[in-house]
């Protein structure tokens, strides 16, 4: 995989994706390690997806946690990324990543690599007028070469519905409306959770028995986060 780590203590290594900077990071505070955008990737076979409510500087959000087996036998990995925030609603980057994982064969290894281009930068024939961050998801094709995956928004194509601005009485700035994005998010999460549980039945068995392969996983995460998300949507 793109980031080589030792087995260390515990059987899961935790990573996050900074959607604004387009990079992977590990740890928090003074121990935080931030990897260079486009230079570090995670590779693994997805086996579980959970969501969890979070709050940073007073702003509530919903994060997705994707768990993957290391294909070369190292510790399992968990990569966390924001899919919804109280401030701006569903995240285009978060939904795109979910959609690309949904489009993959989740019985096989995938590569997740965040990247970033500064304003004025060029990739191929495309010149970026402003800073741009994204996340590529690749999987080996029939010839063994990695192929970039387009998102599958749970059967709705590979593009999110276009946004538009709407004036709200008493609000100075227009509000960005994201039609159908919340429903797409809920559908992707629900279908991915169900698919991975079907492909990895030991996940459900461990929960029923009160045993957890990874002690960090709370089987109530999805339900509690869903309730929090409903509250956020009601206040938005």
pLDDT in tens, the chain (236 residues): 445 443 333 589 999 999 999 999 998 888 899 999 999 999 999 999 999 999 888 889 999 999 999 988 889 999 999 999 998 999 999 999 999 999 999 999 999 999 999 998 888 888 888 999 999 999 999 999 999 999 999 999 999 999 998 887 877 788 889 999 999 999 999 999 999 999 998 775 544 444 333 333 333 333 333 444 444 333 33
Tens-digit pLDDT profile for residues 145-164: 999 999 999 999 999 999 99
> CA distances (Å), 41 to each of 10, 11, 15, 23, 136, in order?
21, 19, 11, 9, 9
Place of tokens 């068995």: 205
One-letter-per-residue 3-state SS of the chain: CCCCCCCCCCCEEEEEEECCCCEEEECCHHHCEECCCCCCCEEEEEEEEEEEEEEECCEEEEEEEEEEECCCCCCEEEEEEEEEECCCEECHHHHHHHHHHHHCCCCCCEEEEEEEECCCCEECCEECCCCEEEEEEEEECCCCCEEECCCCCCCCCCCCCCCEEECCCCCCCCEEECCCHHHHHHHHHHHHHHHHHHHCCHHHHHHHCCCCCCCCCCCCHHHHHHHHHHHHHHHC
**Among 98, 92, 57, which Cα is nearest to 80's?**
98
Angle at 4 between CA 134 and CA 100, to 5 degrees: 30
Report the DSSP beta bridge partners of residue 117.
132
In angstroms and rounded to an integer, the radius of gyration of the C-alpha atoms of the chain is 18
Tens-digit pLDDT profile for residues 57-76: 888 999 999 999 998 888 99
Q: What is the C-alpha to C-alpha distance for residues 95 and 97, in angstroms, rounded to an integer? A: 5
For position 212, what pLDDT does the model report? 37
Residue 222, both tokens: 């999805």
Phi-psi region of 125 (alpha: psi -120 to 50; beta: other; left: phi over 0): alpha
Q: Domain residues of the chain, as ranges?
A: 12-229
Q: What is the C-alpha to C-alpha distance for residues 171 and 178, in angstroms, rounded to an integer? A: 18
Between β-strands 89-90 and 132-140, what pairing exists: parallel, antiparallel or unpaired? Answer: unpaired
Cβ neighbourhood burial of 49 (10 Å; 0-12, 13-18, 19+): buried
């Amino acid at each position: 995989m793109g980031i080589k780590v030792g087995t260390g203590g515990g059987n899961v290594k935790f990573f996050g994706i900074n959607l604004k900077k387009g990079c992977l990071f590990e740890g928090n505070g003074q121990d935080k390690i931030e990897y260079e955008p486009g230079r570090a990737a995670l590779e693994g076979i997805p086996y579980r997806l959970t969501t969890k409510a979070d709050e940073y500087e007073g702003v509530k959000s919903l994060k997705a946690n994707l768990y993957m087996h290391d294909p070369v036998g190292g510790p399992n990995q968990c990569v966390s990324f924001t899919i919804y925030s109280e401030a701006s609603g569903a995240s285009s980057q978060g939904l795109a990543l979910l959609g690309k994982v949904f489009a993959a064969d989740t019985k096989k290894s995938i590569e997740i690599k965040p990247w970033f281009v500064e304003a004025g930068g060029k990739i191929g024939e495309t010149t970026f007028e402003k800073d741009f961050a994204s996340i590529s998801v690749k999987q080996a094709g029939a010839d063994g070469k990695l192929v970039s995956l387009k998102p599958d928004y749970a059967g709705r194509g590979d593009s999110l519905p276009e946004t538009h601005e709407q004036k709200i009485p008493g609000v100075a700035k227009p509000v960005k409306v994201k039609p159908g994005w919340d429903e797409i998010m809920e559908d992707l999460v629900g279908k991915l959770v169900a698919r991975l549980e079907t492909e990895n039945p030991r996940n459900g068995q461990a929960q029923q028995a009160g045993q957890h392969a990874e002690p960090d996983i709370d089987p109530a995460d999805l339900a509690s986060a869903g309730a929090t998300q409903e509250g956020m949507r009601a206040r938005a």
